[in-house]
Copies of this chain bind each other. A is one copy, B any other.
Amino acid sequence: MQSEPAPREGTLARPTLADVAARAGVSASTASLAFSGSGPVSDATKERVLAAAAELGYAGPDPRARSLRRGRSGIVGVVLEERVRAAFLDPVKIQMLDGITEGIAPLGAGLLLLTDTGEAGGNAVGIESAPVDAVVLVGCSPRLGDAVEVLRRRGIPAVAIEGAAGEGVPQISIDNREATRRGAEYLRELGHTDVALVTLPFDADRTRGPLTPELIAASTADTASERLAGARLVFPDANGRAAAASSIEEGREAGLALLADPATRPSAIIAQSDLLAAGVINAAEELGIAVPAELSVLGFDGIRVDGLQHDLTTLAQPSVAKGRAAGEAVVQLLAGEPGESVCFTSTLHVGDTTAPHPARAAR
C-alpha cells in the first residue's frame, strides 16, 4: 500500500478514516469511535483524531459505508401518488409532510421523495430500490397494493396515510364518512334540504363533471367516496359535481355550474375540501349570491385558506397530527414494535359561511 495514493484527475484523493487514523497515530477502530462518539475514547486521543481529520480535510465518515455497516441509511421515504408539483399544491399534504418530519425527528432521518408513478427504469431509485429504512405511503392509489408487496419483500416497514394498507402496515386515517355526516346533519339542522356536493376527483383521470353513478362506481379514491357516502347518509339524493383537483379555481368552476341557474340553485353546498369551498364562495360572490345569507358553504380540512376573508365552516382534520402519527408509527416499527394505527376524528368548526336556510331565517 502506498502512503501517497496518486491523486486522479487533479482531484486530491479524498482521505478515508484509515488515513486519519494513520495521521493521528491510532488504529482505525479508535478513530471510528472518536467520530461516532459511542465508545470509550480518551479525550486526548479524540482530540488528536479530530485534529488529524482537520489537517487532512477529512469530512467525516462516508455515509454509504456507514449505512452498509449499520444496516440503516437514516432515510425515510415518502411515497406520493402524484408528481411533486401536484402533491405540494395541496396544503393538507404539506402539513402532513411537516407532521411526518416532526414524528420522525427522534430518528434524525432525512425525507426522500418518491413517486409511484411509472416504473423506475434502469438504475433509477424507485420504491423498489431506494435506500430507505422505512416508508410512508401517502394517499391511496390502485397500485398501492403492489408497493406494499415490494416493501414487504424488501423487509422495509411501511405506514399508510389515508389508504387501504395491508397486513402489518399501520394505517393513519380520519373519519371521512362520519365527519361528513356530522357536517351534513348540521346543515339539516339549519333547515337545509336542498344540498349540492363538490367532490374531490374520483379516479386517476381526475374526471371533472356531474356526479354520475358510473363515476362513483368506478371510484378509486377512498377519500372522495367516503365523504360522499357520509353526505348521502343525511341527504340521500344530494347531487353535484366532481372537481378535477382540490383547488380554488376548480371549486369556483363547480360552484358556477351549480349556482348559475336560480331555479335549481341549492341553499347549501358541501365541498370536500376547503380549497374547493373557497372557490364555491368566490363563485357565489361573482353571481351576487350572499354567503351565508343565501348560500351556506361547508368545507373539509380546516386549513387556513390564504386570502379568503371568511371563517369557513369546515370539518377540521388534524393534518399535522396525522403526519406526526405516521412518523411515530415509523419510529415504532423501526424499534421492532408493532406500530400503532390511528383513526383521527375531525371536528366541525362552525364559522361564518353557514346560516339557517333562507326560508326559515325569514320567518
**Which A positions have Cβ atoms within 8 angstroms of B?**
9, 11, 14, 36, 57-65, 67-68, 71, 73-75, 77, 83-85, 88-89, 91, 94-95, 97-98, 101, 107-114, 120-125, 128-131, 150, 153-155, 247-249, 252, 275, 278-279, 282, 286, 305-309, 336
Complex CA distance for A354 and B71, rounded to whole angstroms: 60
Of B65, B98, B153, the residue contacting A57 (CB under 8 A) is B153
State whether A60 and B129 are in contact (beta carbons under 8 Å apart), knowing that A85-B95, A155-B14 are contacts in the complex.
yes
Residue of B nearest to A11 (CB): B155
Chain B residues with Cβ under 8 A from A89's Cβ? Answer: 91, 94
CB-based contact B131/A108 at 8 Å: no
Which of A88, A114, A275 has the largest number of chain B CB atoms within 10 A?
A: A88
Chain B residues with Cβ under 8 A from A155's Cβ? Answer: 11, 14, 59
> A63-B131, A108-B124, A110-B130 provided; 20 other pairs, C-beta below 8 A?
A11-B155, A36-B123, A60-B128, A74-B123, A74-B124, A75-B125, A75-B131, A77-B110, A83-B98, A85-B98, A88-B97, A89-B94, A108-B121, A110-B112, A110-B113, A110-B125, A248-B306, A248-B307, A275-B306, A305-B307
Q: Could you say how many copies of this chain the assembly holds?
A: 2
Which of A110, A112, A282 has the largest number of chain B CB atoms within 10 A?
A: A110
Complex CA distance for A108 and B119, rounded to whole angstroms: 11
Write the nearest CB–CB distance from A88 to chain B, whole angstroms. Answer: 5
Residue of B nearest to A113 (CB): B111
CB-based contact A97/B84 at 8 Å: yes
Chain B residues with Cβ under 8 A from A306's Cβ? Answer: 247-249, 275
Write the nearest CB–CB distance from A356 to chain B, whole angstroms. Answer: 27
State whether A307 and B278 are in contact (beta carbons under 8 Å apart), knowing that A94-B85, A129-B60 are contacts in the complex.
yes
Chain B residues with Cβ under 8 A from A122's Cβ? Answer: 108
Complex CA distance for A59 and B148, rounded to whole angstroms: 12
Residue of B nearest to A90 (CB): B88
Chain B residues with Cβ under 8 A from A67's Cβ? Answer: 64, 131
Nearest 10 interchain pairs by C-beta: A108-B124, A248-B307, A85-B98, A59-B153, A63-B131, A74-B125, A59-B154, A110-B125, A248-B306, A111-B113
Residue of B nearest to A304 (CB): B249
State whether A73 and B131 are in contact (beta carbons under 8 Å apart), knowing that A98-B84, A154-B59, A306-B248 are contacts in the complex.
yes
